[in-house]
Structures are given as C-alpha cells and as structure tokens.
Amino acid sequence: MIQYKINEIFETIQGEGSFTGQPSIFIRLQGCPVGCSWCDTKHTWDIELSDEVTKETLLAKSQETSQWATFTASDLYSLIIERGYKAKHIVITGGEPCMVDLTPLCSTFDNKGYSTQVETSGTFDILVPEACWVTVSPKVNMRGGYAILESAMKRANEIKHPIATEQHVDDLKALLAEHAIENTPVYLQPISQKSRATELAIETCIANNWRLSVQVHKYIGIE
C-alpha cells in the first residue's frame, strides 16, 4: 500500500485551466527535483526526513512549510469525509506528484464519485487511471535538467504553460511541434501576474487560438 508524502490538503476554488471556478480539494505532495525558477511552492521541493511529522501536526499547521506526513489513499479519503469537505473534484499537485504511482489514489476517489485531476511538469511517467484529467505544465530547460516526456504530452488533457517572454512561447511551440500535439487545449499562464507577461499571453492566445489562464485564486486572494 503506497504511503504518499503529503504537504497539505485544503478545499478551495480551482483557479487555473479548464476547471477554473470548480470547487476543489487540493492534495499537495512533497518532493520535486525539476527546479522551476518561478515556482510558488518551493517549500515542497525537498524531502527531508527531519521534516516528517505526524498527521496531526501536519493538519494543524497554519502556514506554508516543508513539513510532510504520510497518508494512504484510504487515509486521505477518510480525512476529507471527517473534515466535511463538499467539493467533488480532487486536484493532486505538488511538488511533482508523478514521482509516485497515483493510480491507487485516483482510483479511491473515482470509486467514491469524485473526479480527479493531476497537475504535472511532464517530466515523469504519469501513472493514473484513464478517467483522471491530466494537466501538463511542461517545464522546459529547468535547473533539474529533466526532459519533457512524449508519453506525458500525449496523455495530457490540457497543456498549461507559464510564460513571461517570447522565448517561453517559442519553447512551447517547438514542444508542440516535436510531439505533434494539435487538438489538446493549450492555456497560457502569465508568470507572477506581471502586466507585460499578461499582455504577451493575451496577444499569443488570440494569434494561436489558445486560451488564457490567469490564476484567478491569486487575484481574489484565496489559497
């Protein structure tokens, strides 16, 4: 039985991509070696044994930390019921959640009437059930040196690409051409809500018939 290293669990509104506005339960896993310079969850990168805490300690924390605790899929489902969460959409994120097999986790919730979504960099094999919605946010030429897998690009239900410069747009176009991606919805997401990045994203979306993802949760001030 897989023990998942969990950094936090919370209920909110999905603020990105196709499910923007959807009430969602976020399950954030600890660990990511990709090394994105603009990452807003850098506290989830390292898996230090000294940061392992009890489930009770993890659930009581009130701010972002690198602490994590282990949960099975059954543990997570029981916790969500205990907390009385109403959302029926599960978002599995990180960190890089695809460092581990997510099939048991997704299947547990699928079998209970939830929908599941995984957010991944596309640099690890995506082990999820067919029903799971996969958001690939391809991280090109990052510090960790990981390549984007063709299997990840082909599995994506949507591609969500953070941009701030024309180079980021060029990187995405090259990636789409390399893997012959034509019909998968593409979202551009301005990095850090900067005005120039937003203008570039809007212009590029119109020119390519892509979609804009503006991280609604950050604009309205929720987690």
Residues making up the binding site for Mg(2+): 41
List the beta strands (DSSP E) in the chain: 4-13, 23-29, 69-71, 89-93, 115-120, 133-136, 158-163, 186-190, 211-212
CB-side exposure of 81: number of CA atoms within 13 Å? Answer: 11
**Residue 209 pLDDT level (bands cut at 50, 70, 90):** very high
User: Is CATH 3.20.20.70 the right assignment for the domain spanning 4-220?
Assistant: yes
Residues making up the binding site: 13-15, 28, 32, 36, 38-41, 93, 95, 137-139
pLDDT of residue 84: 97
Q: What are the pLDDT digits (tens) for 83-95?
A: 999 999 999 999 9
pTM: 0.94
Q: Which two tokens stand for residue 41?
A: 């969850």
Residues making up the binding site for S-adenosyl-L-methionine: 38-40, 95, 137-139
Residues making up the binding site for substrate: 13-15, 28, 93
Q: How many Å is the Cα radius of gyration of the chain?
A: 17
Q: What are the pLDDT digits (tens) for 124-148?
A: 999 999 999 999 999 888 888 899 9
Nearest to 223 by CA among 70, 23, 82, 1: 23
Mean pLDDT for 155-181 is 95
Residues making up the binding site for [4Fe-4S] cluster: 32, 36, 39
- Measured CA to CA, the distance from residue 116 to residue 13 in angstroms comes to 14
Q: What are the pLDDT digits (tens) for 87-129?
A: 999 999 999 999 999 999 999 999 999 999 999 999 999 999 9
Angle, vertex CA 16, rays to CA 38 and CA 43, nearest 5: 40
Q: Are 120 and 95 in contact (CB under 8 A)?
A: no
